[in-house]
Amino acid sequence: MQYGMIIDIDKCVGCHACTIACKAEWEVPAEFGRNWIHRLGPAMTSAGMSYTWYPGLCNHCDEPPCVDTCPADTVTMEFKDAVSGKTTTMDVAATWKDPFNGTVQIDKERCLGCGACADACPYDARYINEALADDNSDGKADKCTYCMPRVAEGLQPACVQTCLAGARIFGDLDDPKSEVSAYVKKGAKGLTSKAVNIGPNGKYYGTKKADLELLHAQAPQEMPEASLKRIMFAKMAQSAKKQAKGIGLAGLAGALVVKSLSEGEEK
């Protein structure tokens, strides 16, 4: 199984119902977005003047760079296939790709808030909410999760349920009988380029050449590199916090170490 989302730009009217529904469902701060809608144009294309909408979200890629970049210590997790009941275990950091449904998820408890995953995403689909900083982090990474808690209850993702135009279609791309697979057969494609071709499972469909030209021009043209400095400081801060917890009253010293490391990263 590989969950994916089709966005039919012939139907999208740019009303933002999807973005508002997402914020309401997941209490996303006003300055951030798990999904977005950007207006493209009016601009000239090879087929004449045009404008369209670019609805975006995490693509739950086949090869997500955010997963390999996460510097959090790994733990062994058990995953269960909701359909067959089969289970498997994997060692995962604070972000991972589910082996059964293909979604990319985040463990907020273990997230360090370092921003390495956000740096690594070529689609800019992640943000760090510093308001959620705790003793173990400088904030928490967040992004679209395909509303897995809702899907587990037999519901559609909030954005899909709310889309008045029916422009968002969610389902299993590996099921040849699914609606999303039918769209792929009709020509729905992800936003990829020669340099960035990591298998996005968010795909776009349209019949107007000009609109598609504007849309596919939004495909990222290079793979970003997560800051090695950021990852290094995250690891050092994680170690310092563990030591601080282990020495009780001397925890203040550990906190000062963490603070100095964070300030060093900012510089």
Alpha-carbon distance 262 to 183, whole Å?
46
Tokens of 262: 């964070």
Query: 47-81, pLDDT tens digit by residue?
Result: 999 999 999 999 999 999 999 999 999 999 999 99
Give the count of beta carbons closer than 10 Å to the beta carbon of residue 16. Answer: 15
Alpha-carbon distance 141 to 261, whole Å?
19
pLDDT of 252 > 60? The answer is no
Min mean pLDDT across 16-20, 34-38, 237-241 is at 237-241
* pLDDT for 261: 47
pLDDT of 262 > 60? The answer is no
Mean residue pLDDT of the chain comes to 89
Per the DSSP assignment, residues forming a β-bridge with 55 are 37
Which has the closest alpha carbon to 231: 92, 115, 123?
A: 115
Alpha-carbon distance 166 to 145, whole Å?
20
**Single-letter code of the amino acid located at 68:** D
Per the DSSP assignment, residues forming a β-bridge with 77 are 90
pLDDT of 231 > 70? The answer is no
